[in-house]
Structure 1
Amino acid sequence: MATEGKDVILGGWGEETEATPEVQEICDKVKEQVQTTTGGTFTMYKALKYRSQIVAGTNYCVKIQITSAGDCDHVTIFQALPCNGGDLTVTDVQEKKTISDPIQPW
């Protein structure tokens, strides 16, 4: 789990944290879903920061840099529990964000 070693409040969103390789891997797995949602393709796709929420699975809201100019999308991804298949689903995309915009899930 990407929140390992952090204090986690069940049901509450955690602090904004630097993205880990695991978070980047999650983002890579849903890249096609994000492109379909936004109707575009990206010149880059780098997870910068994220927040997570433990529910009946895990929600991740990730700040993803999509251009070298600093344009970002905030992508919310739900990861089902392993006993439920562990599937990843994009549940929200906030477009036209910048590197300095704080992550505000939903």
Structure 2
Amino acid sequence: MPMMCGGTALPSEADEKIQKICESVKSHAEQKAGKTYDVFTAKTYTTQLVAGTNYFVKVYVGGDDHVHLRIHEKLPCYGGDIELSDMQHGKSQEDPIGYF
């Protein structure tokens, strides 16, 4: 996956690792959205290397709805914590995932 320093990588299909990262922040995303998601399936993602990794993930949440999540994973030397940094609602399957 080619990446420029500080930029985001090209989008890729989400895999099991990305799904697990999304599941780890699902309750925070639900809290932020003020609703519960019966479906929470990671579809595509891109990454940005910073002091750790930012994951920008398109997540299918049922019906025609998607949300975009920005998830930060700290470097192991800083505890390796994973946290939801930001979230965008009302996205469609066609909306490109990228930095926000």
User: Normalization by structure 1: what TM-score?
Assistant: 0.90
Which secondary structure does the structure 1 equivalent of 2:45 belong to? strand
Q: What is the Cα deviation at residue 16 of structure 1? A: 1.1
Indicate if the aligned counterparts of 1:78 and 1:90 stay in contact, CA closer than 8 A: yes
Q: Is 1:30 matched up with 2:42?
A: no
Q: Is 1:19 matched up with 2:14?
A: yes
Which secondary structure does the structure 2 equivalent of 1:66 belong to? strand
Alpha-carbon distance in structure 2 between the residues aligned to 1:26 and 1:9: 23
Alpha-carbon distance in structure 2 between the residues aligned to 1:32 and 1:10: 31
Unaligned runs of 5+ in 2: none
The partner residue of 2:98 within 96, 99, 104 is 104
Structure 1 match to 2:52 = 57
Cα-to-partner distance string for 1:24-44 (whole Å, 9 max, x where unaligned)? 010011111111111110120
Code of the aligned partner of 1:23: I
Unaligned runs of 5+ in 1: 1-5
Cα-to-partner distance string for 1:51-82 (whole Å, 9 max, x where unaligned)? 10001100001000000x23100000000001
Indicate if the aligned counterparts of 2:2 and 2:10 stay in contact, CA closer than 8 A: no
Code of the aligned partner of 2:92: T
RMSD: 0.9
Structure 1 match to 2:77 = 83
Code of the aligned partner of 1:20: D
Alpha-carbon distance in structure 1 between the residues aligned to 2:5 and 2:74: 15
Alpha-carbon distance in structure 2 between the residues aligned to 1:10 and 1:21: 26
Alpha-carbon distance in structure 1 between the residues aligned to 2:12 and 2:37: 23
